[in-house]
Copies of this chain bind each other. A is one copy, B any other.
Amino acid sequence: MATARGYHHGDLKAALIRGALAAVETGGPDAVSLRDLAQSLGVSTAAPYRHFPDRRALLAEVAAIGFNDLTAAYARAQAEAADPVAAMRETARAYLTLAFGRPGLFKLMFASDIVDGEAPASLLGPAQAAWEGLFRAVAAAEPGAEPAAIKRRAITGWSTLHGFITLVQGGRLKGFMTEPLTEADLLEAILDKTLREA
């Protein structure tokens, strides 16, 4: 699909994003090398720069895909749930599914380097949409609460989930998860605690 064509590749930009996404999912953000990518697409090492100002811009595009997928997963979870509380739980689970199912992509999405200085709008939009999906779930589960309270609640819950994921994926809980305390148990406990409360 990436071979046997002349001077022009045809759709190099999309191919680069696809390739970068694959590399990110396999080995995380650091596994993306523009040179490797170019070579594997049968194109010169300078070609990618016709489509992205620099490496970070390409990675930002990949991260945006991650946020879009996350938003879609949120929407699915909320549509299928029986009631608002279940919807909130499934929304949280969607976050966990992405984090543990596609850790490389997840790491990229929250790699501060990508966003340092200022992030491009093509990333901020999807990131904002994902956040709103999460906010919506919390708001629905807590009818009548004032916006500030909902926001506080959403951010706190998000923090707990995100922190746990980060610590686990960073290997920081390695020595501490002694039987009979497994990561899965803890996750359930965290979900329960995060979701239950006035």
Query: Is A156 an interface residue when CB atoms closer than 8 A count as contact?
Result: yes
Please, what's the 1-or-0 string for A80-123, where 1 marks a CB less than 8 Å from any CB in chain B?
A: 00000000000000000000000000010011110110010000
In the complex, the answer to whether A186 meets B152 with C-beta atoms within 8 Å is: yes
Inter-chain CA distance A162–B113, complex, in Å, is: 18
CB within 8 Å of B: which A110-145 residues: 110-113, 115-116, 119, 124, 127-128, 131
The one of B128, B160, B176 that contacts A159, using a Cβ cutoff of 8 Å? B160
A161 is an interface residue with CB less than 8 A from chain B: yes
Interface string of A145-165 (1 = CB under 8 A from B): 000100110011011111111
Question: Considering only CB atoms, which chain B residue lies closest to A162 in the complex?
Answer: B163
Inter-subunit contact B113/A169 (CB<8 Å): no
Q: Which residues of A contact B (CB under 8 A)?
A: 30, 107, 110-113, 115-116, 119, 124, 127-128, 131, 148, 151-152, 155-156, 158-167, 169-173, 175-176, 180-181, 186, 189-190, 193
Copies of this chain assembled into the complex:
2
A111, closest chain B residue (CB): B170
**9 A–B contact pairs at CB < 8 A?**
A110-B172, A111-B170, A116-B171, A151-B181, A152-B181, A156-B164, A159-B161, A161-B163, A162-B163
Instruction: Give every chain B residue within 8 A of A175 (Cβ-Cβ).
Output: 124, 128
Using known A-B contacts A131-B176, A175-B128, determine if residue A162 contacts B167 with beta carbons closer than 8 Å: yes
